[in-house]
Amino acid sequence: MAVVREFTLPDLGEGLTEAQVVRWLVKVGDVVAVDQPVVEVETAKAMVEVPCPYGGVVTARFGEEGEELPVGAPLLTVAVGEAAPTALAAPTGGTGSADAASAAKPADPAGPEASPAGGGEATGARANGEEGSGNVLVGYGTQAPAARRRRVRPPARETGRPAERAPAPTAVAVISPLVRRLARERGVDLTRVRGTGPDGLILRADVEEAALTALTAQAPRTAPVGQTARHTARPETARPARRASGGRRVPDGLRVPLRGVRGVVAEKLSRSRREIPDATCWVDADATELLAARRAMNASGGAKVSLLALLARICTAALAKYPELNATVDTEAQEIVRLPDVHLGFAAQTDRGLVVPVVRDANARNAVELSVEMARLTEAARAGKISPAELAGGTFTLNNYGVFGVDGSTPIINHPEAAMLGVGRIAPKPWVHEGELAVRHVVQLSFTFDHRVCDGGTAGGFLRYVADCVEQPAVLLRTV
């Protein structure tokens, strides 16, 4: 007989505690396969399609489009048939559709899982009645034993291992499609990754750490997200969802909930102010020659180079000259960690609020490559399709607040980075050029830095070098 399984909103990582239902991808009565996306939700970081770890018939949905659900709240229920456990014994590397197909027919005793270890696992799965895929989003796990984490290809040395040793904590953890995709994109061998989640579960943070070892191995690690408590309450007793709104009116004014993007920004900036002793310096620069250089570049044909990309290229050249500013502070170890690669964040305003996409290995890219990547990330951010991984791991931030028509600012450092360059609007102003008064295009540059990583001389040298490159772009030819 069919067993009804409840699928709750998993922990989506990055410290997020809730998500808004954007679009349901299934309806009541639909047949879903294991790991099939069932709902699209929006977090403070990005839009995410959530896959269901069960295969069967959808019997109920919880939450209307536009509602905010807390992590752990029921998303839907699925009626799972008796044949569903055979999906767990499918050959490794199968897709969700293959899992569903295998759930519809008995397992072939002569198949690859007929070995002692495989058979033991399959039998155990049937005996326990566990129909879940074992897959997870970050921090989320079904109640499957570790032995069933066979859908990730195990190393060859595990073949033929006795069944009783299968649940050993050294087994490779099954992970979600989101984490598998990230691993593929970053070229990470999951068999070599040590999971920090429950029962050795491999989290997105673990993949990021493996892909950016030089960046994060010495940096402070975020505590792994714990396994979310499963909600067994029925719909009428489950924690009520909150409907997203612009706020509620009270006698003393309009109260707007501090959550979503605004809440994440507030927490991060507050932490920066609490922990980082920052200081800011300014300089005005004549950007006339930089604008002329950009026009010449774009007149030659090929991909267009944006002004922001030229400023990014100047930043990476300046960080090569002053590497102590591409750093972070490990407060627990009381050490300054200087980072070898520049992962450049840049502020982008979207309808959902301010986000900071990150260009990986910006120091290895030229102006054209920077322009193309920044345009791609900006488009993804404004469409709400940028992934959380593309918003994390920055080592330095470029903030072009000139797009708002202002000259200067004292930006708050993007924790845990050590510095940020701010760029104001470029406007025609009177300027002494070659001994004569002339109208030139002038920009104000501001540089905010963590005083723990350097003194004013280093910060001033960095900002002066940036200004020199803005005024005389030929200076960059020395670093080409």
To the query of whether residue 455 is one of the catalytic residues in this protein, the response is yes
- Residue 84 Cα distances to 102, 105, 172, angstroms: 8, 9, 23
Please compute Rg for the chain using Cα positions: 26
* C-alpha dihedral sign at 43, 48, 52, 57: positive
Q: How far apart are CA 78 and CA 87, in angstroms?
A: 15
Closest residue by Cα to residue 203 from 133, 136, 134, 132 = 136
Q: How far apart are CA 305 and CA 361, in angstroms?
A: 18
| Catalytic residue (one of 30, 252, 455, 468) | 455
Eight-class DSSP state of 197: S
Longest dimension (CA), the chain: 91
| Catalytic residue (one of 108, 189, 433, 451) | 451
Strands 396-399 and 419-433: parallel
Q: What are the residues whose beta carbons fall under 8 Å from the beta carbon of 16, sequence distance 6 or more? A: 43, 44, 45, 71, 264
To the query of whether residue 361 is one of the catalytic residues in this protein, the response is no
* Residue written as token pair 């407060």: 331
Q: What are the residues whose beta carbons fall under 8 Å from the beta carbon of 359, sequence distance 6 or more? A: 312, 343, 344, 345, 346, 365, 370, 373, 374, 377
| Positions marked catalytic | 451, 455
